[in-house]
Structure 1
Amino acid sequence: MKIGLTKNDYPIRRNILDKVSGCEYVFLRNNNNLFHSLSTVKNLIFRKKSNIEGKYYFYQKPTIDVLHLYNDINYSSQKWVVSFETLVPRFLETRNDHQKTEPQHIKNSKTADGLKQIAKKNCLGIVSISQASANIQLELLKHYPEFKDQIEAKLTVIHPPQEIIPRDSSNIYNNIETFNLIFVGTQFHLKGGVEMVDVLRKLKSKYNFKLKIISSFKTDNYVTKVSEKEAQETKELLKKEDWITLFENIPNEKVLELIKESHFGLLPTWSDTYGFSVLEMQAAGVPVITTDIRALPEINNENCGWLINIPQNRLKQALYYTDEQKEELKKAIKSQLENIIEDIFANPEQLKEKSKNSVERIKKNHDPDIFSEKLKSIYSKA
């Protein structure tokens, strides 16, 4: 069976590419997409750009059996599947609705047309990578009852696959003299890095630990709104700390080696659609401290890690729209993170049990073979 893909970025590689044995994966050209071609012509002739995000129409039908998209919609007759991390269609008219204090949506024809494509028979399934995202999708469907039943019948939750990462944990948690902590997050500020460092600075005089930070310090323009200048200033200040080691743009193999050297991980994030670094840490037997938003409480809990409870709306989205909300968020993260870390340092024996439970959780809920079979059963409808 030939599976068509439109991109070769991280989400595609993490959730789709080479995940079903026996399938051949084909990368399709952008100029085979009608929306891309029309946008190019419009830009050349009229010097105007079109928003084609999330839309595909292959007018030269590719020689594939199934087109598998990520966050995008197919408007052609080609049989297709879509995996998503928040909802589909992911348009400007839909993608921020769930972030409001009270989630809301304004019904519109563009979204209705996108949902119409999903409801058609040639859409074989829509795969949510978490129950939190499935709930956001169901919230959108409430506004379009004409498509609700057809789409809900195609909706399934399949958590991403994760291989176990071998590590000899037999002695790593015995008689710890220096705790090794690790933080992995491209967007340092968005992922709660500033709050984490503030807490650790406060504890540095009392405990012996070192922190590895893996980040490119990318900025975001929708949550923290930190400028590139501010992000670089933060990075330079961190370089001066003798207990912090910074890593930028290193290969995944190196990331995994650093994870395996760690006693526990930190991801006190403000916003996250999933938390793939949490899976990698757990797969190596490294328990993680995370916030409790979106998919994180589905993949982390007090049995295998630690959860920071932060203010959020009913769709598990953190509240950060006003200055007051941001201050409450920071306060919640810092106070709970400090308590959790102090408890770990005072009672390190809990690390060994949570390490073992982390690996067991990955084996049970992210088995690559089970993931493959579930995806294969959707493809088989073609």
Structure 2
Amino acid sequence: MTAISDEQNQNKPMRIGVLAYRMDFYTNKRLIIGKLPEAEYVPVCDWFSFQRRLALKINQVVGKPLINTFNLNNQFEDFDLNRVDVLHFSNGVSYGRTPWVSSFETILPRFSHLVTRHQGKEKPQLRMDDLTRRGLEALAGKACLRILAWSQASARMERDLLADFPSEFSQAILDKMQVLHPPQEPLVEAVEARDYRNEPLRFMLVGAAFFRKGGREILQTFEKLVRQEGLPLRLTIVSALRLEPYAAHETEADVAWAKQKLSENVDWIEYYPQLPNAEVLELLKQADVGLLPSYADTYGLSVLEAQACGKPVITTDIRALPEINPEIAGWLIKVPKNELGEALYITPEDRAELSRAIQAGLETIVRGIVADPEQIAIKGAAALARIRQEHDPQAYAETLRQIYQSALK
């Protein structure tokens, strides 16, 4: 790629390459696309995108996941054919010479044999295979401008991963690492306290992965508090009840159980399988408290959206959640975790203990809110204030602008 003169920079918009098949991905829209109004966001294709598309077609034809596409998602090689100034990936690494940036939730390089390392009580011994070496060389190389950790928790995991590899890679990569929390526009001007004396308290959960987000524990807790204790509670759930072979390890029987509970409690539960994001935000504005008592979450973007509506949130204390949901702005449920902040959920015994901790914490917190509902507005105002202070879209854009412009020098 040839150097671009100052005059060209002034006359032409900066061209930022984004993987074509990910242009509509929610995280890319939240973190990358359109963040700089003066830039042009260009869909780009590469060799790994082609392999991924072919693998998905083969899997579709044979009717089973014959070819694993995980590692294909997180590598990029376009042989420098895309005419862009800089590439910006979500969790990816590039092997070309075009300058690039990667925002990451957990670790980089994000390969299947590395990404589960942080799960469980004991960390597995890592080995330097050819794929890992290539990923580390790309990250340490000149073309990689910066790696942007979503949170301090992500940065901690990256440092822990790199400690297992030679310093020739680790220090060069760590020198490029920066924590940059996702941006979030405030969605209300101010928090208005309301009179709860004759109104039920309204709680809301948003998330397709219902069981991983603590949906089972929410239903069990709220059913107990409403049916047995008569507490004035209402619950709104927006979830596809999606099955995932991860964290909660739910089954079709669990989904059937959840559907039955939802149908049995329509007098106090409002349920939507899915809604456009704009409608979700309107429901959040009508709620009092958000819910994310999650087994596993890399960040918790729904927490930011609730806080931007002036709503405090109840979460577990895993990964980035204590960073974005401090006690002044919400409530934290303490759960069993490892040294990297990941909840323990690998064995059935781990999951049972985790479930008990979530349900017990949720019961205690909700009872406390019912006893003292004035704290909702106090914490909600603090939540909205932290959105303005720590997730300012203009400050986020300026950070990206400076990183991108370094590619033009």
User: TM-score category by the smaller chain?
Assistant: over 0.9
Change (3 A) 1:161 1:39: closer
* Counterpart-to-counterpart distance in 2, 1:369 and 1:98: 33
> 258-267 vs 95-104, which deviates more?
95-104
Change (3 A) 1:230 1:175: closer
Normalising by structure 2, we get a TM-score of 0.88
* Counterpart-to-counterpart distance in 2, 1:148 and 1:198: 45
* Counterpart-to-counterpart distance in 2, 1:254 and 1:122: 41
Give CA-to-partner distance per residue, 1:295-315, whole Å, 9 cap, x none.
Answer: 000000110110000000010
Give CA-to-partner distance per residue, 1:304-358, whole Å, 9 cap, x none.
Answer: 1100000000100000111221121111111111111101000111111111101
Give CA-to-partner distance per residue, 1:15-41, whole Å, 9 cap, x none.
Answer: 111112311101113xxx123445677
SS where residue 211 of structure 1 aligns? strand
Letter in 2 for 1:67: L
Question: For residue 220 of structure 2, what is the aligned residue in structure 1?
Answer: 198
* Counterpart-to-counterpart distance in 1, 2:128 and 2:404: 31
Question: For residue 334 of structure 1, what is the aligned residue in structure 2?
Answer: 359
Give CA-to-partner distance per residue, 1:38-61, whole Å, 9 cap, x none.
Answer: 5677998xx984742311100251
CA contact (8 A) 1:61 1:78 kept: no
Normalising by structure 1, we get a TM-score of 0.94
Question: For residue 238 of structure 2, what is the aligned residue in structure 1?
Answer: 214
C-alpha RMSD over aligned residues: 1.9
* Counterpart-to-counterpart distance in 1, 2:385 and 2:249: 38
Deviation at 1:379, TM superposition (A): 0.8
CA contact (8 A) 1:167 1:260 kept: no
* Counterpart-to-counterpart distance in 2, 1:267 and 1:50: 30
Give CA-to-partner distance per residue, 1:149-173, whole Å, 9 cap, x none.
Answer: 1101100000000000126642435
Within 5 Å, which residues of 2 pair with 1:211-360? 211-241=235-265, 242-360=267-385
Letter in 2 for 1:296: L
- Residue among 13, 19, 35 paired with 1:19: 35
SS where residue 98 of structure 1 aligns? coil
Question: For residue 135 of structure 2, what is the aligned residue in structure 1?
Answer: 114
Deviation at 1:376, TM superposition (A): 1.1
Give CA-to-partner distance per residue, 1:177-225, whole Å, 9 cap, x none.
Answer: 2111111111111111111111111111331111000101111102222
CA contact (8 A) 1:39 1:49 kept: no
* Counterpart-to-counterpart distance in 1, 2:50 and 2:29: 25
* Counterpart-to-counterpart distance in 1, 2:338 and 2:101: 30
- Residue among 91, 97, 100 paired with 1:71: 91
CA contact (8 A) 1:179 1:208 kept: yes
* Counterpart-to-counterpart distance in 1, 2:80 and 2:253: 45
SS where residue 113 of structure 2 aligns? coil
CA contact (8 A) 1:53 1:91 kept: no
Gaps in structure 1 of 5+ consecutive residues: none
CA contact (8 A) 2:190 2:381 kept: no
Deviation at 1:237, TM superposition (A): 2.7
Letter in 1 for 2:161: L
* Counterpart-to-counterpart distance in 2, 1:297 and 1:174: 28
* Counterpart-to-counterpart distance in 1, 2:312 and 2:379: 6
SS where residue 170 of structure 1 aligns? coil
Change (3 A) 1:22 1:54: same
CA contact (8 A) 1:87 1:136 kept: yes
* Counterpart-to-counterpart distance in 1, 2:125 and 2:38: 41
Question: For residue 373 of structure 1, what is the aligned residue in structure 2?
Answer: 398
Gaps in structure 2 of 5+ consecutive residues: 1-13
Change (3 A) 1:300 1:64: same
Deviation at 1:78, TM superposition (A): 1.4
Change (3 A) 1:233 1:301: same
Letter in 1 for 2:368: D
Change (3 A) 1:199 1:40: closer
Deviation at 1:261, TM superposition (A): 0.4
Give CA-to-partner distance per residue, 1:108-147, whole Å, 9 cap, x none.
Answer: 2211210100111111100011110111111111112221
Question: For residue 28 of structure 1, what is the aligned residue in structure 2?
Answer: 44
Change (3 A) 1:167 1:244: farther
* Counterpart-to-counterpart distance in 2, 1:228 and 1:327: 18
Change (3 A) 1:167 1:363: closer
SS where residue 97 of structure 1 aligns? coil
CA contact (8 A) 1:88 1:137 kept: yes
Letter in 2 for 1:130: S
* Counterpart-to-counterpart distance in 1, 2:249 and 2:275: 25
Change (3 A) 1:174 1:249: closer
Letter in 1 for 2:249: K
Deviation at 1:73, TM superposition (A): 1.1
Letter in 1 for 2:363: E
Q: Does 1:137 align with 2:167?
A: no
* Counterpart-to-counterpart distance in 1, 2:52 and 2:281: 41
Question: For residue 109 of structure 2, what is the aligned residue in structure 1?
Answer: 89
